[in-house]
Amino acid sequence: MDSLTFRAATEADIPALVELVTAAYRGDASRAGWTTEADMLDGQRIDPEVLGADILRPRSVVLLAERDGALLACAHVAEEDGAGYFGMFAVRPELQGGGVGKALLAEAERRVREDWRLPAMRMTVIDIRDSLIAFYQRRGYVRTGIHKPFPYGDERFGIPLRDDLRFEVLEKDLRAETAA
């Protein structure tokens, strides 16, 4: 088995990205993995227009993990407020738990630390997703206690199936890894 390769997405990748992100988070197919949001949210997970803007804007990359040319995982990495921002993290459901996501997260952190020279990586996670938060905590992220509202009413981000959704900001100091 060949090793993973990483590259920046182009606009031509948008249909495959929408399919991957939807499979990882929505509907019955997502239940094959542990990152499903199918019990919390319905509808689309990613808007193709928003995705296209993320691909084209400066200090923003949609990072792809591939093996033998097949798309296995993706994440959006951008500079926001003087730090890296990590989002839209998706791994094919049948591959979750196999190390692909850990490798992609490590590559995203490396790019933010080495290429963009930013001191930290931040993300927002739905705060009731305990197993997902624990995954990030095992990788050095800390809960900040900062909460942001869920965009109720904006169907570009899904149709909520419950009324208690909100995001919590997680953060990792990347400077410690530079010295290591």
Kindly report the CATH class assigned to 5-179. alpha beta
Q: What is the pLDDT of residues 112-136, one digit of tens each?
A: 999 999 999 999 998 888 888 999 9
Paired tokens of 152: 């109720």
Could you give the CA distance from residue 1 to residue 68 in angstroms, rounded to a whole number? Answer: 9
Instruction: Report the residue count for the chain.
Output: 180
pLDDT at 180 over 60: no
Contacts (Cβ under 8 Å, ≥6 apart) of 44: 18, 22, 26, 155, 156, 157, 158
User: Rounded to an integer, what distance in angstroms lies between the CA atom of residue 73 and that of residue 6?
Assistant: 10
HEC readout, the chain: CCCCEEEECCHHHHHHHHHHHHHHHCCHHHHHCCCCCCCCEECCCCCHHHHHHHHHCCCEEEEEEEECCEEEEEEEEEEECCEEEEEEEEECHHHCCCCHHHHHHHHHHHHHHHHCCCCEEEEEEECCCHHHHHHHHCCCCEEEEEEEECCCCCHHHCEECCCCCEEEEEEEECHHHHHC
pLDDT higher than 80, residue 167:
yes
* pLDDT of 153 strictly over 90: no
Residue pLDDT, tens place only, 78-101: 999 999 999 999 999 889 889 999
Confidence of residue 35 (pLDDT cuts 50, 70, 90): low
Residue 84, CA distances (Å) to 3, 8, 42, 154 in order: 26, 16, 28, 25
Q: Report the pLDDT averaged over residues 17-42.
A: 75
Q: What is the pLDDT of residue 46?
A: 83
Q: What is the mean pLDDT of the chain?
A: 89
The candidate with the shortest Cα–Cα distance to 94, out of 5, 13, 34, is 34
Which pair of structure tokens corresponds to residue 63? 């990072």
- For the chain, the structural domain boundaries read 5-179
Q: pLDDT class for 38, splitting at 50, 70, 90? A: low
* Highest mean pLDDT pick, 31-40, 65-74, 145-154: 65-74
The answer to whether residue 45 scores a pLDDT higher than 80 is no
For the segment 142-147, the average pLDDT, to the nearest whole number, is 96
Q: What is the pLDDT of residues 51-80, one digit of tens each?
A: 999 999 999 999 999 999 999 999 999 999
